[in-house]
Chains A and B, each alone.
Chain A
């Protein structure tokens, strides 16, 4: 089996430290040349939504440009870009029913729609699977 991992993510953006941890793990895998497949389930389908907008922060005393506010959609794009630079695969699948429930239809380029059957296929085709559920 090729060097590849599957991640299932479940937390919505801006809710848990688990999201940052998941992104760091995926990033570390890509840095090591390991292809990654992501199945975003429930709230996690909102991670790549393009309507996320950075903002200024008066309490931080920084303008929009200075604040450089992170958005998970930018993180997804950065991971896809890193995979491309490495010549490996990052396949990000958003659960279609979860997308419909949340209206999370506008997503960054490179994210596709799928179903639990896609997750099962990912799990059977990769060396291991990490499930990071909501608590």
Chain B
């Protein structure tokens, strides 16, 4: 069964979780055998940008050792064979150029969503 995971909310509790929980979940179910791909939409298209760092978080006397590494999460998804697509219009709205994006992420226009969804048995929106 092919599944498309639509991620629409970026940076939701990523500091506490040390990752994006939907990307993490996608990697976990892929590890369990799911053929799951990812569509980044809305604010989540920001995950496509290279070179992000959330290092250096300090709260009171507490120091974070491992910040979330979204770039690594996406790269590992791609390396595992997942398709990662970002919505063209949402990238453009945020001024995210192709050159700023991680290699391997496709961009797809809103008009092509129907065709994309048709390739999957399930489309799960997060």
Contacts and interface: CB of A to CB of B under 8 A. Distances in A.
Interface string A54-90: 0001011010000111111011011111110100000
Interface residues of A, number: 32
B18 A75 contact: no
A23 B59 contact: yes
A15 interface: yes
A24 B15 CA distance: 11
A20 interface: yes
B24 A59 contact: yes
Interface stretch (B61-69, B83-91, B95-103, B104-112): B61-69
Nearest to B25: A59
B55 interface: no
Interface in B35-66: 57-62, 64-66
A59 B62 contact: no
Nearest to A83: B60
B16 A85 contact: no
Interface residues of B, number: 22
A16 interface: yes
A70 B15 contact: yes
A60 B61 contact: no
Contacts of B24: 59
Contacts of B59: 23-24, 26-27, 75, 78-79
A68 B62 contact: no
Nearest to A57: B18
A19 interface: yes
A15 B62 CA distance: 20
Interface string A6-22: 00000001111101100
A14 B58 CA distance: 17
B75 interface: no
B15 A80 contact: no
B58 A27 contact: yes
Given A20-B16, A78-B60, A82-B60, A68 B28 contact: no
Nearest to A21: B15
Given A14-B13, A19-B16, A79 B60 contact: yes
Chain A to chain B: the 7 pairs with minimum beta-carbon distance, closest first: A78-B60, A82-B60, A78-B62, A79-B60, A68-B65, A20-B15, A78-B61
7 contacts: A14-B16, A27-B60, A30-B60, A59-B28, A75-B60, A78-B60, A83-B60
